Amino acid sequence: MTQDELKALVGQAALHYVVPGEIVGVGTGSTVNKFIEALASMKDQIRGAVSSSEASTHRLKALGIPVFDCNDVAELSVYIDGADEIDGHGHMVKGGGAALTREKIVAAQSRQFVCIADESKLVKTLGAFPLPVEVIPMATARVMRQFAAMGGVAQIRQKDGQPLVTDNGQHIVDVTGLQITDPLAFETQVSQWPGVVTVGVFAHQKAHVCLLGTASGVQTLAF
């Protein structure tokens, strides 16, 4: 199976976690796009969605799925999103699609995080994928120096030759050279640096379940 087919497989499998009559939390990325396509088949059974990005909002609305403001919804039963890396404890690196801040907000508001990913995303230790960090532009150089002091190399993410601007009007730095052996402590530490909006380690908001697309089908990992 191709990676695209594996993504479609887990996107379809995630429908099983959507609670009829409720609002579902929807993440961002190419795997989630497959989930959104699948969700259209049960759009009459749900009230709608809370979305983690302008891109997903656009897709949901185009399929006739109502999108609610996060502030108007107290708690979601489930949040479904992809990951750039996931370890054997459900800790993840996210933000390859630059939506990490809203993703963490919606995840925090959800009782269950269901991660959908193809098997290439499963790792022993987080850090091989460049770690996305959303930063207030004024603090970018300072935050990059702090990562350098940890042995990391940070680069400002570019789009069309300019620093990429997130849905929240901020920039992203991508950090290579890190081995994140204690994701919970790492997330706690970096989140406190002035100017950091969101670090792409999801340990406090880790996955409860991962639907992993493999050559032999969907494997369910529970954490």
Residues that bind ligand 5RP (CB under 6 A): 27-31, 81-84, 94-100, 103
**And the tokens for 141?**
């150089």
Smallest distance from ligand 5RP to CB 14, Å: 12
In 3-state terms, what secondary structure has residue 44? helix
Encoded amino acid at 189, one letter: Q
Smallest distance from ligand 5RP to CB 2, Å: 13
Known active-site residue 54: no
Identity of the residue, 146 or 205, whose beta carbon is nearer to ligand 5RP in the bound complex: 205
Q: For residues 15 and 175, what is the distance between their CA atoms, to the nearest angstrom?
A: 34
Smallest distance from ligand 5RP to CB 149, Å: 26
Question: 125 exposed, middle or buried (CB, 10 Å; 0-12, 13-18, 19+)?
Answer: middle
Encoded amino acid at 126, one letter: L
Smallest distance from ligand 5RP to CB 170, Å: 13
Identity of the residue, 58 or 142, whose beta carbon is nearer to ligand 5RP in the bound complex: 58
Catalytic residue among 22, 75, 103, 119: 103
Q: Give Cα separations from 144 to 140, 178, 199 (angstroms).
A: 6, 13, 13
Identity of the residue, 23 or 86, whose beta carbon is nearer to ligand 5RP in the bound complex: 86
Of residues 57, 59, 60, 48, the one with CA closest to residue 19:
48
Alpha helices, DSSP H, located in 43-117: 54-62, 100-108
Identity of the residue, 94 or 171, whose beta carbon is nearer to ligand 5RP in the bound complex: 94
Identity of the residue, 82 or 152, whose beta carbon is nearer to ligand 5RP in the bound complex: 82
Q: For residues 174 and 217, what is the distance between their CA atoms, to the nearest angstrom?
A: 32
**And the tokens for 184?**
């919970």
**Active site amino acids:** 103
